[in-house]
């Protein structure tokens, strides 16, 4: 890290209606540094970096890059100023090829005499993919053929191939496996060596401490402090972020409670070709059953299979009363809830309001005589459950797409609390969510368990499985590779040994 300043953020402000998302924030980013930006969900991190990269307009304040004021109006202008971003949500465009995504807005380099030379563009893209070690991704393929993680890798190439002066990485690591993360860290290191600067946003505090040089903390849109990573601990950062000591327990505190013998769901010989096979387990009343493993271990498919959402599923998923679950409507009707890992594409209806999202599975119950929907009933219902789980919002009429990741997750959870589901399947419920909202979700799970609800928690975060579950099943290569009961002595290594 050099002492020279690359980017000055000066008195930046941005509001959305009554929400003051960023309020008079100023700090400096040095050359050749990784500068982390941390804060709870909704603290303004994405809003700030979206202004820097031309995605949002600036209300007031300025960005000074290498001594010169920049004011990009879109991402292409930002790139031309030497600034790029890997956004928090999906940042590649469907319907285009990998190469078209990489060079979006910069196609002119491949145009000769008015013709776009697709071959040259693909060739260049393949060269870059090769340099980055992403050979399995092919330039001429449609981006839609790739999963979320691979699309993020394409974004890494897109955002860094042209040696930008400042690269923003907004909560990208939560979407990546350990392997993908290592790739990203390598490129962060390279950018640093070349004298560029990385603005790094992540909720993973150990990762922040490990990878960044400086850390700026935001809280509710307000600047709190900038510190050197070497001078602080994880606990210090937590305190800065929430502005108080974390109160109460983070995970469950009990260890010796006995789980009921009552079986509410049994899964027999379940298989989904190419994904999982020979899956057998039972879920008990009031139990939190965890599923862990590497991201491609098949554990995410288990959640879909239980919810009747898998294609070509074999075997049986049976409730206590003998009902077989083979499709989603039957699952919902029989009080099963499911939240997907891919919150933005599978759980949330983006172009609907918070209220509409919460009422979605309960519309039948909320309808009046003759199935006529009542706005009043829906409003009351949505307000009640949004409040119960403290969704941070203006009101339930607000579009759900305007919320931060943690608050979107709360909306999805409010939906199923409202439905009063007995069996709740949560796939990666705290993915990309800050510690305060995580704590809210853990406490909610604990309350649900105590009231006799049964929960399946699928997670790539081993600590939360250990902290929250009565029992953990580990998946490997589509099969169950081990199982372990709740206990104080379990460590991450105990589970990792079963995973790999
Ligand atoms: P973070 O990235 O730190 O989680 P954000 O910058 O996404 O936080 O959000 C800051 C605040 O601004 C939140 O209250 C959020 O709901 C609000 N917000 C963000 N984007 C929009 C938008 N496009 N429209 C309305 N409100 C928004
Ligand atoms: Mg954000």
Query: Which ligand 1 atom lies nearest to the CA of residue 41?
Result: 4
Instruction: Give the percent of the chain with pLDDT over 70.
Output: 99
DSSP string, 252-316: -----PPPPS-EEEEEEEEEETTTEEEEEEEEETT-EEEEE--TTSSHHHHHHHHTT--SS-EEE
CA 124 – ligand 2 centroid, Å: 32
Ligand nearest to the CA of 57: 1
- Residues β-bridged to residue 34: 198
**pLDDT band at 179, cuts 50/70/90?**
confident
Is 330's pLDDT higher than 80? Answer: yes
Measured CA to CA, the distance from residue 81 to residue 75 in angstroms comes to 10
CA of 434 to the centre of ligand 2 (A): 10
- Identify the residue whose C-alpha is closest to ligand 1 atom 20: 402
User: Hey, what are 98's tokens?
Assistant: 């990998």
CATH architecture of the domain 5-242 equals 3-Layer(aba) Sandwich (3.40)
Ligand 2: distance of its center to the CA of 88 in Å?
A: 6
Which helix (H) or strand (E) is 328 found in, with range?
A: helix 328-333
User: What number of residues does the chain have?
Assistant: 500
E strand or H helix that includes residue 27: strand 19-30
Write down the domain spans for the chain. 5-242, 263-499
Nearest-Å Rg of the Cα atoms of the chain is: 24
Superfamily of domain 263-499: P-loop containing nucleotide triphosphate hydrolases (3.40.50.300)
Helical H runs in 132-251? 148-160, 178-193, 205-211, 234-242
How far is it, in rounded angstroms, from Cα 287 to Cα 430? 19
CA–CA dist 308, 387 (Å, integer): 30
Q: Does residue 351 surpass a pLDDT of 60?
A: yes
Helix (H) or strand (E) holding 52: helix 45-52
* pLDDT tens column, 103-157: 999 988 898 878 889 999 999 999 999 999 899 999 999 999 998 889 999 999 9
Query: What is the separation of C-alpha 237 from the centre of its chain, rounded to a whole number of angstroms?
Result: 20
| Cα gap 295→297, rounded to integer Å | 6
Q: How far is the CA of 47 from the centre of ligand 2 (A)?
A: 7
Q: Which ligand lies nearest the alpha carbon of 218?
A: 1
Q: How far is the CA of 405 from the centre of ligand 1 (A)?
A: 9
- Local confidence band at 245 (pLDDT 50, 70, 90 cut-offs): low
Distance linking the first and last C-alpha atoms of the chain: 37
Q: 360-374 pLDDT, tens per residue?
A: 999 988 888 887 888
Segment 76-101 shows an average pLDDT of 91
CA nearest ligand 1 atom 19, residue: 402
Residues with beta carbon inside 6 Å of ligand 1? Answer: 16, 19, 21, 39, 41-47, 402-404
Is residue 18 pLDDT above 90, yes or no? no
The average pLDDT across 313-328 equals 96
* Stronger pLDDT, 133 or 8, i.e. the higher one: 8
DSSP summary character for residue 3:
S
- Angle in degrees, CA 172, 385, 262, rounded to 5: 90
Among all bound ligands, the one having the nearest atom to the CA of 406 is 1
**What DSSP state is assigned to residue 43?**
S
**Closest CA relative to residue 101, chosen from 150, 53, 56, 54:** 150
**How many angstroms from the chain centroid is the CA of residue 259?**
31
pLDDT for residue 288 is more than 90:
yes
């Amino acid at each position: 890290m050099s002492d020279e300043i690359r980017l000055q953020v000066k008195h930046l402000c941005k509001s959305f209606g009554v929400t003051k998302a960023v309020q008079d924030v100023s700090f400096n980013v040095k050359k050749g540094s990784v500068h982390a930006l941390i804060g709870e969900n909704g603290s303004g991190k994405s809003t700030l970096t979206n202004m820097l990269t031309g995605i949002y307009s600036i209300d007031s304040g300025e960005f000074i890059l290498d001594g010169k004021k920049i004011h990009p109006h879109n991402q292409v202008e930002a790139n031309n100023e030497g600034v790029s971003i890997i956004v928090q949500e999906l940042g590649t465009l469907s319907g285009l090829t990998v190469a078209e995504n990489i060079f979006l807005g910069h196609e002119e380099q491949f145009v000769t005499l008015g013709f776009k030379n697709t071959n040259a563009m693909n060739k260049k893209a393949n060269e870059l993919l090769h340099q980055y070690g992403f050979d399995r991704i092919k330039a001429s393929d449609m981006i839609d053929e790739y999963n979320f993680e691979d699309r993020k890798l394409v974004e890494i190439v897109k955002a860094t191939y042209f040696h930008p002066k400042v690269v923003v990485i907004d909560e990208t690591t939560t979407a990546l496996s350990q392997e993908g993360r290592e790739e990203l860290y390598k490129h962060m290191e390279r950018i640093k060596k070349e004298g560029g600067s990385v603005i790094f946003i992540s909720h993973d505090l150990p990762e922040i401490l490990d990878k960044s040089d400086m850390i700026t903390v935001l809280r509710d849109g307000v600047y709190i402090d900038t510190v050197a990573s070497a001078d602080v601990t994880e606990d210090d950062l937590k305190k800065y972020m929430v502005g108080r000591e974390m109160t109460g327990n983070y995970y469950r505190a009990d260890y010796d409670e006995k789980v009921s013998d009552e079986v509410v769901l049994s899964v027999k010989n379940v298989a989904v070709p190419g994904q999982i096979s020979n899956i057998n387990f039972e879920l008990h009343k009031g139990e939190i059953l965890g599923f862990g493993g590497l991201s491609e271990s098949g554990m995410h498919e288990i959640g879909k299979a239980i919810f009747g959402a898998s294609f070509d599923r074999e075997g049986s998923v049976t409730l206590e009363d003998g009902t077989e679950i083979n499709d989603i409507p039957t699952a919902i009707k029989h009080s099963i809830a499911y939240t997907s890992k891919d919150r933005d594409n599978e759980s949330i209806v983006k172009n609907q309001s918070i209220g509409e999202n919460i009422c979605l599975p309960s519309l039948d119950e909320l309808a009046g005589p003759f199935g006529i929907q009542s706005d009043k009933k829906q409003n009351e219902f949505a307000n009640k459950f949004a409040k119960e789980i403290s969704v941070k919002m203006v009101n339930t009429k607000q579009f759900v797409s305007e919320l931060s990741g943690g608050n979107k997750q709360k909306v999805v959870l409010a939906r199923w609390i409202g439905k009063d589901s007995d069996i709740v399947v949560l796939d990666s419920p705290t993915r990309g969510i800050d510690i305060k909202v995580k704590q809210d979700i853990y406490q909610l799970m604990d309350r649900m368990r105590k009231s006799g609800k049964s929960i399946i928690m699928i997670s790539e975060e081993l600590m939360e499985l250990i902290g929250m579950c009565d029992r953990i099943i580990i998946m490997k290569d589509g099969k169950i590779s081990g199982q372990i009961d709740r206990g104080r002595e379990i460590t991450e290594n105990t589970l990792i040994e079963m995973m790999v």
